[in-house]
Amino acid sequence: MNSDKDHRNKVGAGQPASTLSRMERMPPMQMLLYLSMIASTVLFVVLATAYAQTRFNSAMPQGMHPFPRYFSISTIVLLVSSYTISQARRLYQQDDVTMLTRCLGATLLLAAIFVGLQGLGWRELIAQGVFFNGEASGTYVYLLSALHILHLLGGVLFLMILFLRTAHAARDGVRTLVFIRNPYRRRQIQMLGIYWHFLDGLWIALFALFLFLY
């Protein structure tokens, strides 16, 4: 049997785990989340690049139409939702399932408001004469916005399921204890926060692009 001293003297012992080792220990669902975020980032970068190139080649001058105000308002709403979802992990660690339920519910409501404001932003575009099947650069605005909403709805679906389970657990002390002590729930809340902040950052980047090129 090797002694502790011999174990410490082994090559690499006591050194930080490599990136590959951390990836091997990562839960499959979390790995899938990161891979999907990378794929989504690549997709949006390609579309944003195509939009920028099309906009620069377009004969329509910049600033011809006012930027949709509902896009600006929806950005503020999404930032607030990012704050509310960031409180979920803290509330879970404090065993406050009741406040956690309200936190998730508020985020769900803000997400619905964001989607509604995006729809109103599309109405503003139509009122300005910018149609989906019109100027190519205008088409990209609709496409990028719609794709972001589609990604958001995926997060909303997961958020709704977690909200219902949290609300169910909050009604009974035993169910609350089981919910709090379940490491799978903790990981779900963590993954939801990561994905939500990713969507927030993604929309901020798109919003800045729209402001610069619209």
Q: Please list the pLDDT of the chain residue by residue as tens digits (214 residues).
A: 444 555 444 444 455 555 556 656 677 888 999 999 999 999 999 999 999 998 888 766 666 677 889 999 999 999 999 999 999 999 999 989 999 999 999 999 999 999 999 999 999 999 988 888 767 678 899 999 999 999 999 999 999 999 999 999 988 888 888 888 888 888 999 999 999 999 999 999 999 999 888 7
d(CA 131, CA 35): 33
Q: What is the C-alpha R_g of the chain?
A: 22
Please answer whether residues 91 and 48 qualify as being in contact, where contact means their C-beta atoms are separated by less than 8 angstroms: no
CA torsion, points 40, 43, 47, 53, in degrees to nearest 10?
120
Question: Looking up tokens 């910018």, which residue turns up?
Answer: 130
- Residue-wise pLDDT tens digits, 86-110: 999 999 999 899 999 999 999 999 9
- Residue-wise DSSP of 87-116: HHHHHHHTT-HHHHHHHHHHHHHHHHHHHH
Angle, vertex CA 50, rays to CA 46 and CA 51, nearest 5: 115
Provide CB contacts within 8 A for 130, sequence distance 6+. 65, 138, 141
- Residue-wise pLDDT tens digits, 145-158: 999 999 999 999 99
Phi, then psi, of 203 in degrees rounded to 5: -70, -35
Locate all alpha helices (DSSP H) within the chain, ordered by sequence: 4-8, 19-25, 28-57, 69-93, 97-127, 136-169, 173-180, 183-213
